[in-house]
Structure 1
Amino acid sequence: MNLQTIYRIAKREIRGMSGTSIFIAVVMPFILILILNSIYKKEILRELPVAVYDCDRSELSRKLIRLIDASPSMEIIDSYVSIDMIEDGFNSGKTEAVFYIPSDFERSIKRGLQSRIIVYKNSSNIITSNLILKDASTIVKTFSAGTLLNKFEKNSMNETIAYPLVNPVKIETSSLYNPNYSYVSYLPPGLIAFTLQIAIMLSTSLIINSEFTGRAFGELILISRGNSLLIFAGKFAPYFTLYFFMTLIILFIIFPLYNIAVNGSYVVLLLLFIIFIAVNVNSGILISSLFNDQLFATELTIFINTPAFILSGYTFPVWAMPSVHKALAYSMPFTYFLEAFIKIIRAGANPSDMTSELAALIFFAIITFAAAYIALKYRINKITSEQLK
């Protein structure tokens, strides 16, 4: 392969970049990535606004309220006196949850009867809803155990004997990979990868068809002597290099800046990104070679990428999707990349733990390269034959 010719084509491509191209390729993804990370910089939700509706107003209900207010995830902002106030609190967006304590709360407990509290929670946001449910369950269990233990001790039962009766089965859970339910650990990594994919494909979906105006493509054929592989390599090299360096900035500057942990090997992670970038640059060149209309090529790129994040399994598991959607999800390289990416940064996975994902990405890299090369070769042959007529 003639490296000098590839260098000339790559240099020509860099010189031909317009302000819009640079904005799409470089500026836009960094702006989006910084905005996304800034939104979730708080990491963990604290002091979610909650209210209480205490119909009992007893010593035990006040004790329970103090436990709720002591929770780091919740802050009691109001005390309601009617059901209508509960509805108004949710409709106005002032509260995320309301703890309803019935009027017979203490009396039932002292009689040895089961009592209850009702937690009304805003479930429109799954993360805040689950956090409230988790902490509310912990608070009620702690309160119930404390109340029962106190009752046994009043009957002169030794604490050593009483505690196993209160808590006969002790559950210990160990939350892996995101134990604090951190937004930073959950959302930004996937969104950053998705933003990078869109930027790569948008910027490369115009690098061939933009040559069709005037005599630009004829000049390109002349430089390469009609060698489609040299044209492909010359177009591929600048964008692959650009996005490789962008990946380095993301992993070694942006991730540490926003406390996004990488528990696995950076070498393996870079290898994964190299394949990922190659797949997307190949895909962009393929689209650009197939369609003359730059607007249509851009629209098609956006259309292809729009469902990629939703179907990737990041927000909803692929295995739980209907068969058609599951098949569609696994027809997209982003699904395999994201699965491997998350395994590395969260679980510290080795290549042996993600052989299927790596094999699929390599397959996509080969297929997209072959398709792009064939499309580009066809385009060159077509234009060359037209010029000879």
Structure 2
Amino acid sequence: MTQLRISIQSVKNVAIRELRRLVAKPLYIFCMLVAPLFCMVFFLSLMKEGLPVDLPIAVVDLDNSSTSRSLIRQLNAFEQTEVAMQTMSFTDARIAMQKGEVYGIFYIPERFAADATTGKQPRLSFYTNGSYLIAGSLLFKDMKTISVLAGGSVGLKTGTAKGLTEAQIKGQLQPIVVDTHSIGNPWLNYSVYLNNILIPGILQLMIFLVTVFSIGSEIKFATSHEWLRVGNNSVLVSLAGKLLPHTLIFTLVGLLACSLLYGFNAFPLQSGWMPMVANIFLLVLASQAVGVFMIGVLPTLRLGLSFASLFGMITFSIVGLSFPVSEMHPTLQALANLFPLRHYFLIYVDQALNGRELIYCWGHYVALMAFMILPFLIARNLKHALLYFKYIP
């Protein structure tokens, strides 16, 4: 019991020392509070409409008939599409797209209306700029939709001329009606898709950097002996005291993020608050543990920060948000489990989006807790670096 009280007191002393260091260096305040809060406000306000609207396209209308003009009006009526340029020259439209002035080109050939009504099957063409993934994808969908509608409109006129009823014509044009329901995000809101991972991902990156910097700076500026002395010469006690203020601050920031996502913006939260509160708390602890492991493996501030930055940026590509992990190379599928945000993402999908029973994702909670073993694995190497490593500028 005496040893336990000594350890608790040592943790408290190290935590007080760390709080003084946090207040003394504005960089800590920026990385722990300013940067995450700025990113929350920036991304949530950037995508507050849910989907981009009025994306500019160019229309090359070589037919210039009432039918082609009707198509252009219908295309311009789509919320996500704005006909910003009408021209008779495909070259002018292509140059505008290369300059980034428009994201797509809708091409209507000569004699489109006449050929359509005589059954010659004219071809509508549309081009999108794949360099802009979201803009190109959304415009492709709108232009494809208007092309299908154009075919249906022509078929309706032709069928009417043949004396068919409207019901008969619709049955021929669309024999099977598809009823689509988007589960989890019925509004197809891009903010729901992206911000629920971007914001925790940025928080994880900041935790990596702050953890590595706080320990690495002790080595660089030769204050590690004093840190260990305050921590009763125990590297685990010293780590616990140093990271405790970080844990409290980052957890509060994480809870604020949850409040903005699921409270203020009313994003889907099928499971209630507690599973996601536990999720963000475990993400903070797991990220800190990974940060300790980074600086323990590379006990140089410069290399440790490089490791943290690289690992943190790769996270956004490998967690499965932008590209499904199941379609990656088997090696990358295995490596994806080494990133805390991967398990956070899977818990988020199961709990917040789908509202599944906890038993289906308990393994990912365990995986986040398993990251906390890392400081114990690297403790001896880290203590040796704190005691004997000589920083070379």
The reply to whether TM is greater than 0.5 is yes
State the Cα deviation string for residues 214-244 of structure 1 (Å, max 9, x = none).
8844444444433444323222322111111
State the Cα deviation string for residues 321-373 of structure 1 (Å, max 9, x = none).
2333333323323322223234434333442332343332232233x242244
Say which of 143, 147, 156 aligns to 2:150. Answer: 143
Q: Does 1:371 align with 2:377?
A: yes
Match of 2:62 in 1: 55
Q: What code does the residue aligned with 2:12 have?
A: Y
2:214 alignment partner, SS class: coil
Q: How far did residue 62 of structure 1 move?
A: 2.4
Q: Aligned partners of 1:260 and 1:145: how far apart in 2?
A: 37
1:207 alignment partner, SS class: helix
State the Cα deviation string for residues 176-200 of structure 1 (Å, max 9, x = none).
3344443312222222111111111
Q: Aligned partners of 1:88 and 1:229: how far apart in 2?
A: 62
Match of 1:347 in 2: 354
Match of 2:166 in 1: 159
Q: Does 1:5 align with 2:10?
A: yes
Between 1:77-86 and 1:260-269, the stretch displaced more is 260-269
1:16 alignment partner, SS class: helix
Q: Is the 8 A contact 1:286 1:375 kept in 2?
A: no
Mark the CA change 1:14 to 1:48 in structure 2 (over 3 Å): closer, same or farther: same
Say which of 291, 302, 306 aligns to 1:299. Answer: 306
1:52 alignment partner, SS class: strand
1:94 alignment partner, SS class: coil
Between 1:164-173 and 1:146-155, the stretch displaced more is 146-155
Q: Aligned partners of 1:69 and 1:292: how far apart in 2?
A: 58
Between 1:310-319 and 1:30-39, the stretch displaced more is 30-39
Q: Is the 8 A contact 2:205 2:313 kept in 1?
A: no
Q: Aligned partners of 2:339 and 2:368: how far apart in 1?
A: 9
Q: What code does the residue aligned with 2:327 have?
A: A
Q: Aligned partners of 1:20 and 1:87: how far apart in 2?
A: 47
Q: Aligned partners of 2:344 and 2:352: how far apart in 1?
A: 12
Q: Aligned partners of 1:193 and 1:104: how far apart in 2?
A: 54
Mark the CA change 1:71 to 1:28 in structure 2 (over 3 Å): closer, same or farther: closer
Mark the CA change 1:66 to 1:19 in structure 2 (over 3 Å): closer, same or farther: closer
Given the two structures, how large is their TM-score scaled by the length of structure 2?
0.86
Q: Does 1:359 align with 2:366?
A: yes
Given the two structures, how large is their TM-score scaled by the length of structure 1?
0.87
Q: Does 1:110 align with 2:117?
A: yes
State the Cα deviation string for residues 102-124 of structure 1 (Å, max 9, x = none).
22322222223322211122222
Q: How far did residue 48 of structure 1 move?
A: 1.6
Q: Is the 8 A contact 1:229 1:373 kept in 2?
A: yes
List alignment gaps of at least 5 residues for structure 1.
Answer: 384-389
State the Cα deviation string for residues 297-344 of structure 1 (Å, max 9, x = none).
222322332322222222222222233333332332332222323443
Q: What code does the residue aligned with 1:265 have?
A: G
Q: What code does the residue aligned with 1:14 have?
A: L
Please list, as runs of the form range in 1=range in 2, the aligned pairs for 1:307-318 lying within 5 A after superposition.
307-318=314-325
Q: Is the 8 A contact 2:55 2:81 kept in 1?
A: yes
Q: Does 1:80 align with 2:87?
A: yes
Q: Does 1:134 align with 2:141?
A: yes
Mark the CA change 1:68 to 1:28 in structure 2 (over 3 Å): closer, same or farther: closer
Q: What code does the residue aligned with 1:245 have?
A: L
Q: Aligned partners of 1:89 and 1:379: how far apart in 2?
A: 58
List alignment gaps of at least 5 residues for structure 2.
Answer: 389-393
State the Cα deviation string for residues 260-290 of structure 1 (Å, max 9, x = none).
5444422101111222111111222334445
Q: Is the 8 A contact 2:57 2:103 kept in 1?
A: yes
Please list, as runs of the form range in 1=range in 2, the aligned pairs for 1:165-244 lying within 5 A after superposition.
165-212=172-219, 216-244=223-251
Q: Is the 8 A contact 1:6 1:234 kept in 2?
A: yes
Q: Is the 8 A contact 2:285 2:372 kept in 1?
A: yes
1:189 alignment partner, SS class: helix
